[in-house]
Structure 1
Amino acid sequence: MQHNWFNAFHHCRSLGMHLVSITSQDQNDIIVKQIKDDGYEDRVFWTSGNGNDYQWMGNGKHVKYTNWTPGQPDNILDRNEHEQCIQITGKGTGQNDREDLKWNDRICSYNFNFICEQDIIE
């Protein structure tokens, strides 16, 4: 299933979940391993990262840990929108310099796969 970032956000919420927030290398490694184990390493996935200064909308925290593709984020203006949503990009998804399952900023209105996570009570 693919949605733009906003619809993906609402879809996860309708399930009692959030778009995934990645706050550490360990969390990133777990997500990347799951993507690879499921055979989806050639796909693109929305995370809950959003905004000019990038916050995890799933947990309300600023993005501190990052795993950007080299040269990202570049906040390109495309279709009169700036790239403000964080995605995990798979290999072979359109950029020659893209590394396997790193992060990219993208305009939020494009449709991609997405990852929901359970709410965690802290």
Structure 2
Amino acid sequence: MWLLCNAVFLVPLLVVIVKSENEKFLVFSKSKVTWYQALIECKRIKRELATINSEKEELELDNFLLNNNFDKTYWMGATKEGNGEYYWATTGEKMNYTFWVNGQPDNTKYDLNWDEGEHCLAWTVQSNQVFYGWNDVTCLEPHYYICQKFEDCD
């Protein structure tokens, strides 16, 4: 279960530090940025874009987001830039666990991504929290983001 243990405000971030059984800490941004900017912002505050490796971690994250009305789209740490398969940018490991929204990934091609498709991973809510999970999104679209760090709450 995700437990709120501290809240700190940093500009331009709204920092929400939460603790789970596996000691993941998440930071939810206040401003929307591209996937690349989110990667840099997380590193700037000595964290990484969120990585989910199991159903248990996914359910903890889902429950925390949905129960606390985080009903937006949030960047996570995977991309398929490179060889076309999804890897976690934070660890370099291939994604073994997935939680795609029905019909995803679809690699939609349109003007914003210069008809090259969608290459970055986002957690999203659709239809008033009825459908939620992962979606492939154009890396240049602005979204909020989730950072993580493995440490204890003090």
Question: What range describes the TM-score normalised by the shorter chain of this pair?
Answer: 0.7 to 0.9
- 1:38: how far off? 2.0
Where 1:66 maps in the other structure, the secondary structure is coil
**1:8–1:19 contact (8 Å) kept in structure 2:** yes
CA deviation vs aligned residue, 1:52-91 (integer Å, no higher than 9, x gap): 2000111211011111111111111122131010111113
Higher share of residues assigned strand: 2
User: Taking structure 1 as the reference length, what is the TM-score of the superposition?
Assistant: 0.86
Q: Relative contact order, CA 8 A, sep 6+: which one is greater?
A: 1
1:118 and 2:153 aligned:
no
Where 1:101 maps in the other structure, the secondary structure is strand
Which amino acid in structure 2 is aligned with residue 22 of structure 1?
I
Sequence identity (%): 25
**Alignment gaps of 5+ in structure 2:** 1-30
1:83 and 2:83 aligned:
no
**1:5–1:46 contact (8 Å) kept in structure 2:** yes
Once residues 46 and 78 of structure 1 are traced to their aligned partners in structure 2, the CA distance between those partners, rounded to angstroms, is 20
1:48 and 2:77 aligned:
yes
Which amino acid in structure 2 is aligned with residue 82 of structure 1?
G
Please identify the structure whose Cα radius of gyration is greater: 2
**Alignment gaps of 5+ in structure 1:** none
Determine the structure 2 residue equivalent to 1:102.
133
User: Taking structure 2 as the reference length, what is the TM-score of the superposition?
Assistant: 0.69
Once residues 119 and 10 of structure 1 are traced to their aligned partners in structure 2, the CA distance between those partners, rounded to angstroms, is 18
Which amino acid in structure 1 is aligned with residue 63 of structure 2?
K
Aligned length in residues:
115
